[in-house]
Amino acid sequence: MATWSDLNLQNSTTPLMEQLTFFHDHTLLILLMITILVAHTMTSLFFNQFTHRFLLEGQMIEVIWTILPAITLIFIALPSLRLLYLLDESMDPIITVKTIGHQWYWTYEYTDFTTPYEFDSYMTPYNENTNAGFRLLDVDNRTILPMLTQIRVLVTAADVLHSWTVPTLGVKVDATPGRLNQTSFFMNRPGVFYGQCSEICGANHSFMPIVIESVTTKTFINWINNNLIT
């Protein structure tokens, strides 16, 4: 998870987040090369006492500085388009979870089972936090999901605009009243992953966190069975 001193992207948990991280590094490398080239050119011009007689007007250099940015944009656009198609790709999900945003909490529904399971997820109050918990990020009911499983999340809202966001999963979906948006992901490791609402939704916008707990399939089955029985 991100802390106050972390300026980098969070460690990826899904293949899609890995691709997002690679694209981020790829784009930053191109920007670094452009910055170094421009800085070198400007420095040379500042400290050069001579004037190139063909520099102020020339068809060739204008063609060059028009073509080079176009080529640079192609090197950024092609991986970006590929990534957009990967993010929008829908596979056959094993589990579907419906997420409903409220002011100011989340409701989760597991509807793939004979008896649907539904619960609300509120932020844990500060005075109830343990030493192992995170302030403003922990919830009373975590969303348990199995790893190494294709998961689909349907997102909507009951009142105003919200946004269901978990950075380490590479997932950010608008929760719009009257509209059902969807995303899918594949978690490749166990852990507890934190997110927050990313759409300003009112006075307590900062107090409706998201906690996803990735567990083994056996642990998930035991958890859902215990909750369905009770």
- 82: domain CATH number is 1.10.287.90
Q: What is the count of structural domains for the chain?
A: 2
**Structural domain boundaries, residue 219:** 95-229
Q: What is the pLDDT of residues 62-83, one digit of tens each?
A: 888 889 989 999 999 999 998 8
Among the listed residues 139, 197, 202, the one whose alpha carbon sits nearest the alpha carbon of residue 165? 197
Mean pLDDT of the chain: 86
In a domain, 1, yes or no: no
Tell me if residue 135 falls in helix, strand or coil: coil
In a domain, 9, yes or no: no
Q: What per-residue confidence (pLDDT) applies to 132?
A: 67
Tell me if residue 45 falls in helix, strand or coil: helix
Show which of 54, 73, 88 is a domain's final residue: 88
Show which of 71, 88, 105 is a domain's final residue: 88
Query: In degrees to the nearest 10, what's the CA dihedral of 65, 70, 75, 78?
Result: 180
In a domain, 108, yes or no: yes
pLDDT at 230 over 70: no
Q: What number of helices (H) and strands (E) belong to the chain?
A: 3, 10
Whether 175 and 99 have beta carbons less than 8 Å apart is answered as: yes
Considering the domain architecture, whether residues 19 and 101 belong to the same structural domain is answered as no
Show which of 30, 61, 88 is a domain's final residue: 88
What residues have CB less than 8 Å from 76, skipping those under 6 apart? 26, 27, 30
Whether 142 and 192 have beta carbons less than 8 Å apart is answered as: yes
Considering the domain architecture, whether residues 62 and 138 belong to the same structural domain is answered as no
Mean pLDDT along residues 116-143: 81
Among the listed residues 119, 128, 122, the one whose alpha carbon sits nearest the alpha carbon of residue 140? 122
Strand 162-166 versus strand 171-175 pairing type: antiparallel
Bridge partners of residue 172, in order along the sequence: 165
